[in-house]
Amino acid sequence: MMQRQEEAQEEDLFDRFKEILTINPALIGSLTSIAFIIICWVIRDSLKVKDVCEKHVFITGCDTGFGNLLAQRLYRKGFIVIAACLTEKGSQELKACTSSSLRTVILNVTNPRSIDNAVAYVATETGNKGGLFGLVNNAGRAIPIGPTDWMDIEDFHRVLDVNLIGLIEVTLKFLPLIKKARGRIVNVASVMGRLAFGGGGYCLSKCGVESFSDSLRRDMQYFGVKVSIIEPGFFKTGVTSLEIIEKDLNRLWNRLTPEVKHLYGEKYFEKYLKVQRLSMNTFCDSDISKVTNCMEHALTARYPRTRYGAGWDAKFFWLPLSYAPAILADVMLKLILPRPLGYKRVLSKNQVDV
């Protein structure tokens, strides 16, 4: 009796499966097509360029952080790496981690003469070897960052001159060598270039890097040059050093006029510092290889991606939030950040004036 019931159940399940196949052939076809596309994309994404030992890569901002780790990794893979450092100390420490034969150059991306010297050095190094295969624009800074009305125009210049204007000038001056090699340009932007949630020049600069990279990619496609954008989330580097951020916030606060200080209030400043500590200690990922993995793929893949979201917070929180209605991000940040002490007085005055 039990055996007959089991056989009947099996026949019933088989009949249901046949019914699904009969009723939903379009669904089965769609799922098959999606699976086929995913498999093809994975295979295409895994294809690599050949003969990396003969290829030159120039990386800016190699004193610490992403640039430093990328230079070490590419050097060990056999690339001819030319690492640009801001200081002689950074250059010596990088060589100590790799080899004294690693090529380095001192570069200040805000100094046109320094950029010209770097271009001349790279041109000499590449010689008749096919030009510069890879340019990684990694140099950057974050501070000053804070409420917009705490800033002056020089605060914006300090960030924009490094993160955007310097990046553009370096790219333009290296373009002839890149075009000669039909190479790659990798520009480091940020999730804050897609979703601005802090005052100062950082978000502006990274949004500019996104736009510049998009237009550059479309212009250079005819010359065989590929351009990729790296969009890291929060990572523990010199740029996100809590000590440096707090020191600069204190500088901004101490120079405010008494009127502005009164409008915000001492408690606002204390709470703002607490939010910075919470975000840096909670969100910042210490595994910066998640970023350098993306950079490396952009340089070594036969078909590099246009954009790379680096870090789980970037992939599953910040970048998706950037596609959401602006009001959602506004409400979220309003809940996180403190409110100025004087905002109620301003509201009351406006109501009286009306």
Q: Are 174 and 215 in contact (CB under 8 A)?
A: no
Catalytic residue of the set 121, 202, 268, 272:
202
CA separation (Å) from 126 to 48, 58, 177, 258?
22, 11, 9, 57
Distance, CA of 139 to CA of 159 (rounded, Å)? 11
ω into 144 cis (within 30 of 0): yes
User: How many CB atoms neighbour CB 207 within 10 A?
Assistant: 18
**Cβ-count burial 36-45 (b if 16+ within 10 Å, e if not):** eeeeeeeeee
**Cβ-count burial 289-327 (b if 16+ within 10 Å, e if not):** bbbbebbbbbbbbeebeebbbbbebbbeebbebbeeeee
Residues in the chain: 354
Helix residue ranges, H only, 187-234: 201-220
β-pairing, 226-232 vs 134-137, is unpaired
Distance, CA of 200 to CA of 162 (rounded, Å)? 13
110: which DSSP letter?
A: T
Is 202 known to be catalytic? yes
Return the closest-CA partner of residue 139 out of 224, 237, 47, 8.
237
Active site residues: 202
